[in-house]
């Protein structure tokens, strides 16, 4: 059995709603244009602020789960190789990197106090050629030192990609609100918000480019040093019989040479001395010879 009060109550409420709707329509028709414009501007600002809050609190709806089937690895290695010819080994390293589809980065060449040349070069090669290039470089000479590292940044790559997607949607939303804004103050507020979001988007794009560069190209730092010249083994330098005989003959020949030089230098003086002695002897003999009788001489 139905209660007689419920239909009566429903009828009263429906009548009241119709009266209120009619009064509202007739009382607000005059100021509808100004009110709608104001509400639209305020709503635009609130939507912009709401989008900013959504950006800061996360983008759970816009992000996707990391794709672990493709790992993003940053590979780096450092090699020190001792070679016979540093310039030639450097040219070979350049050729190896370029043939693998990479390029040569920074390069530094120095010389130490002994004139030994040392070259340090940074090579960027595709990650799929990393092991092949590394094996070729360390086989160029004697390997002195090797360090290799691998860093998995798959989560970072997925996170940055998702943030970029959400940030682009946020920037597009603010631009749409700017097109709908009617007041200058609202436009200025939205322009400031747009500049902030575009700056965040550019930072995310730069980080994405950096991750892409480091994961697609491995970094190999190669140091080349010259192989030192082997010193001759020390040997016994004490003289033997043959050395003594050779040294004695050398001294004898040298002595004869000096004697000959001395005789040659003294020969003119000896000749003069002999001539003077001869004259003196004749003079003394003439004085000692007595005179003969009868005036004969």
At 110-163, the pLDDT tens digits run: 887 777 778 999 999 999 999 999 999 988 889 999 999 999 999 999 999 999
CB 120 within 8 A of CB 264: no
- Residue 250 within a domain: no
Same domain, 92 and 138: yes
Q: ∠22-23-24 over CA atoms, to 5°? A: 90
Residues whose CB falls within 8 Å of the CB of residue 74, separated by 6 or more in sequence, listed in order: 150, 151, 153, 214, 215
Same domain, 134 and 84: yes
Same domain, 170 and 150: no
Q: How many domains does the chain have?
A: 2
Q: Where are the beta strands (DSSP E) in 44-102?
A: 73-83
Same domain, 172 and 135: no
Three-state DSSP class for residue 10: helix
- Residue 131 within a domain: yes
Same domain, 159 and 131: no
Domain boundary among 196, 214, 232: 214
- Residue 135 within a domain: yes
Q: Would you say the pTM of this structure is higher than 0.85?
A: no
CB 223 within 8 A of CB 120: yes
- Residue 64 within a domain: no
Same domain, 131 and 109: yes
Q: ∠37-40-41 over CA atoms, to 5°? A: 90
Name the band, by pLDDT with cuts 50, 70 and 90, for residue 34. very low
Can you give the residue range of the structural domain that contains 171? 155-214
Same domain, 127 and 195: no
At 241-264, the pLDDT tens digits run: 677 777 777 787 788 887 888 777
Domain boundary among 139, 154, 169: 154
Strand (E) or helix (H) holding 30: none
Choose the weakest-confidence range: 127-141, 191-205, 227-241. 227-241
Domain boundary among 185, 214, 243: 214
At 98-112, the pLDDT tens digits run: 999 999 988 888 887
- Residue 24 within a domain: no
Same domain, 100 and 165: no
Q: In which residue are the tokens 């429906």 written?
A: 14
Same domain, 108 and 148: yes
Handedness of CA 241, 247, 251, 254 (dihedral sign): positive
Which residue from 200, 102, 207, 221 is spatially nearest to 159, judged by alpha carbons?
207
CATH number of the domain to which 88 belongs: 3.30.70
pLDDT of residue 230: 60
- Residue 166 within a domain: yes
Same domain, 106 and 84: yes
For 145, 175, 268, the CA distances from 48, given in Å and listed in that order, are 57, 10, 124
CB 145 within 8 A of CB 78: yes
- Residue 294 within a domain: no
Q: In which residue are the tokens 């501007």 written?
A: 41
Which of residues 58 and 126 earns the better pLDDT score?
126
DSSP conformation class of 61: T
CB 116 within 8 A of CB 226: yes
Q: What is the mean pLDDT of residues 25-36?
A: 36
CB 48 within 8 A of CB 176: no
């Amino acid at each position: 059995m139905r209660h007689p009060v419920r239909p009566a109550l429903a009828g009263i409420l429906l009548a009241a709603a119709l009266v209120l709707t009619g009064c509202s329509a007739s009382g607000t028709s005059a100021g509808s244009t100004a009110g709608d414009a104001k509400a639209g501007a305020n709503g635009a600002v609130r939507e912009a602020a709401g989008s900013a809050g959504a950006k800061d609190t996360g983008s759970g709806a816009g992000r996707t789960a990391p794709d672990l089937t493709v790992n993003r690895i940053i590979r780096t290695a450092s090699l020190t190789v001792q070679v016979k010819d540093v310039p030639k080994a450097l040219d070979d390293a350049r050729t190896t990197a370029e043939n693998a589809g990479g390029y040569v980065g920074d390069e530094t060449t120095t010389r130490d106090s002994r004139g030994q040349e040392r070259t340090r070069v940074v090579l960027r090669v595709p990650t799929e050629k990393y092991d092949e290039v590394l094996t070729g470089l360390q086989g160029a000479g004697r390997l002195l030192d090797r360090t290799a590292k691998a860093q998995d940044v798959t989560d970072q790559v997925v996170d940055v990609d998702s943030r970029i997607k959400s940030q682009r949607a946020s920037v597009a939303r603010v631009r749409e609100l700017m097109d709908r804004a009617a007041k200058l103050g609202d436009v200025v507020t939205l322009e400031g918000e747009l500049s902030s979001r575009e700056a965040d988007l550019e930072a995310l794009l730069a980080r994405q480019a950096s991750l892409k560069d480091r994961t697609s190209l491995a970094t190999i730092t190669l140091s080349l040093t010259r192989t030192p010249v082997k010193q001759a083994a020390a040997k016994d330098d004490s003289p033997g019989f043959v050395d003594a005989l050779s040294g004695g003959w050398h001294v004898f020949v040298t002595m004869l040479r000096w004697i000959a030089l001395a005789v040659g230098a003294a020969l003119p003086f000896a000749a003069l001395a002999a001539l003077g002695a001869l004259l003196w002897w004749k003079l003394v003999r003439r004085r000692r010879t007595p005179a003969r009788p009868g005036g004969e001489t």
